[in-house]
Amino acid sequence: MKRFANKTVLVTGGNSGIGLASAVQFAREGARVVITGRDQATLDSAKELIGGATIAIRNDQGDVQSGPALAALLRQHGLRLDAVFLNAGIGKFAPFDQVDEALWDATFNVNVKGPYFTLQALAPLFNPGAAIVLNGSVNAHIGMPSTSVYAASKAALISMARTLSAELLPSGVRVNVVSPGPVTTPIYERLGMPAAQLDEMKTAIVSQVPLKRFGTPDEVAGAVLFLASPEAAFIVGTELVVDGGMIGL
């Protein structure tokens, strides 16, 4: 299938995990892909993996000026956007009594403030019929210890999808959310836990998933492409949960 032939798609955080898997699938279906990320080395390797006419841009979503800077670069390339997957985000976890202002600010700057002002800057570049997909999380729906700040940021993102749907729909732009459950991505290795403790945590998480396994980035990417595709043209302001039944059963 070439659902995205002659389309331009932006994937933030497209240099690893779910973002990279989504960028690869968009490219396979004919899209010209633009990816962003903070690390130049992984951007370069991701660009080579995705192939085609991929454009890789170093961009930090946690900096509110990154949105206008990204929009300016896209204009320089003469690009308008048919789909955007705002995937970039961070996960910082701590018990409630150990959360400090720095953790709160870092999480909300990247996961909420960044996407909001990035979309604001990109809005003039959306083609009619464009689709926006935000990356939420099942953590917004469950009371998992040590995730209060992360979960709140993802709940804010889900709410944002609904309100921005109402504001952008007159321009012909749809907004939806994909909310993954536990997925095998580099985020776990970045937690800084000892290997034994990390394995124990993963085992505990798997015990809560009816399918008894972690999801894969490709499985979430498939949901992202669906929400961005013409098949989802009648889906607006909706959250598609991809969690192996974690919150539904």
Per the residue annotation, which of 93, 126, 150, 214 is the catalytic one?
A: 150
* 221 Cα distance to chain centroid: 10
* Residues whose CB falls within 8 Å of the CB of residue 56, separated by 6 or more in sequence, listed in order: 14, 15, 34, 35, 36, 37, 43, 44, 46, 47
Distance CA(216)–CA(171), nearest Å, equals 34
Distance CA(231)–CA(141), nearest Å, equals 27
* Residues whose CB falls within 8 Å of the CB of residue 141, separated by 6 or more in sequence, listed in order: 179, 241, 247
| Radius of gyration, alpha carbons of the chain | 17
150 is catalytic: yes
Residue pair 177/238 in contact by the 8 Å Cβ criterion: yes
Q: Hey, which residues are catalytic here? A: 150
